[in-house]
Amino acid sequence: MGKLGISVYPERSTYERDAAYLTLASQYGFKRVFTSLLEIKGDGQQVVANFKRVIAKANALGMQVMVDINPDLFQQLGVTYDNLQFFHDLGAWGVRLDLGFTGAEEAQMTRNPYGLKIEVNMSQGTHYIDNIMSFSPNTGNLLGSHNFYPHRFSGLGQAFFDRATAMYTRYNLNTAAFVNSQAATFGPWPTQDGLATLESHRQLPLATQVKHYVLLGTIDDVLIGNAYASEAELVAASAAFTAAYPALRVVPDDSASPLAKELMFDNPHSYRGDASEYLLRSTQTRVKYAQRDFPPEHTVPIQRGDVLIDNDGYGQYKGETQIALQAMPNDGRVNVVGHVHADELFLLDYLKPWSGFTMVPAED
């Protein structure tokens, strides 16, 4: 089971606010913490002391802190790849290399005496990880995580993301990616339009982003890139990450009967395995409700994402629940009872035949 995480930026906030956020997130099952030590300005000792205090708080809560760093800072701190005591003394769980070395150094770092995790940048799309693997690293201490992108429209596209991620999953390495809180206001840099890995996530609700990663099945740990997510977002993200089945947000049609809403929202659904290009079929409701009547209601033309219930005109199919995968005509035998929320329409591409899911009511 992967982990959920948050990010804190001690140089841009106060200890009190960071500590309160860490405490809140830990209450909802968040285990990982990302922080960034890409440069040290001003009083270096004071900066390091502030980081150490925040990390100690996270450790006391049973959280694991990954410190993002670049090779230039190694020189500034007097740290070398074969002596990582500085990060051990800082209290870090691991070190993320924003920019890497040649492969040999990373492999050697995974064999550090402190058991520090070494996390490398998955977003390069090169054979960097193959090079590291050729130097026989300790894979138990080697992790990968994608970048986040503060500039609007600079985030990764899905196809590139999938290719870059596959380079790591083939070695069974732990993977991580970032999601974007809509309530958070800052990251490590003065300018940011949110901090998502995938550009398609930037404007979406946090829980929807988490559901997408869960459905992808290639990312172990999901981290909120910006600070501070709201408590409501933390609750929703945790629920999405730990749910037994993904929950699609569905807007019920104004004409939907109480029985139609019961079929949608009070039943588990299963994507029938002999899949159609037109319909995602959840057939058990027609068995459970075989004795009920389903008169024709709202038999309008069908659009992608519409939730459908076959009415009495469909004979033995009456009461079957479906989701339209593309537009279709309606001959009057299908009741259109709701539609998947626009934010989550793309998730239909990631539901797999034989998989389970639920529907939850959403406002338009």
Q: What is the pLDDT of residue 287?
A: 97
pTM given for the model: 0.96
Question: Residue 357 belongs to what domain range?
Answer: 248-361
What's the chain's length in residues? 364
Kindly state whether residues 189 and 88 are assigned to the same domain.
yes
Kindly state whether residues 346 and 301 are assigned to the same domain.
yes
Kindly state whether residues 99 and 174 are assigned to the same domain.
yes
pLDDT < 50 stretches in the chain? none
Q: What is the pLDDT of residue 317?
A: 98
Q: What is the pLDDT of residue 36?
A: 92
Residue 330 CB-density burial (10 A; 0-12 exposed, 13-18 middle, 19+ buried): middle
Kindly state whether residues 120 and 191 are assigned to the same domain.
yes
Kindly state whether residues 228 and 262 are assigned to the same domain.
no
| CATH for 332 | 2.40.100.10
Kindly state whether residues 77 and 91 are assigned to the same domain.
yes
Q: What is the pLDDT of residue 4?
A: 98
- Last residue in a domain, options 185, 215, 242: 242
- Last residue in a domain, options 218, 242, 266: 242
Cis amide linkage into residue 168, ω under 30° from 0:
no
Kindly state whether residues 226 and 254 are assigned to the same domain.
no
Kindly state whether residues 17 and 148 are assigned to the same domain.
yes
Query: Tell me: the pLDDT tens digits for 184-222?
Result: 999 998 888 999 999 999 999 999 999 999 999 999 999
Kindly state whether residues 48 and 157 are assigned to the same domain.
yes
Distance CA 87, CA 106 (A): 15
| CATH for 50 | 3.20.20.70
Kindly state whether residues 226 and 336 are assigned to the same domain.
no
> How many Å is the maximal CA-CA distance in the chain?
77
Kindly state whether residues 294 and 211 are assigned to the same domain.
no
- Last residue in a domain, options 242, 264, 299: 242
Kindly state whether residues 215 and 80 are assigned to the same domain.
yes
Domain count, the chain: 2
Distance CA 2, CA 172 (A): 13
Query: Tell me: the pLDDT tens digits for 215-266?
Result: 999 999 999 999 999 999 999 999 999 999 999 999 999 999 999 999 999 9
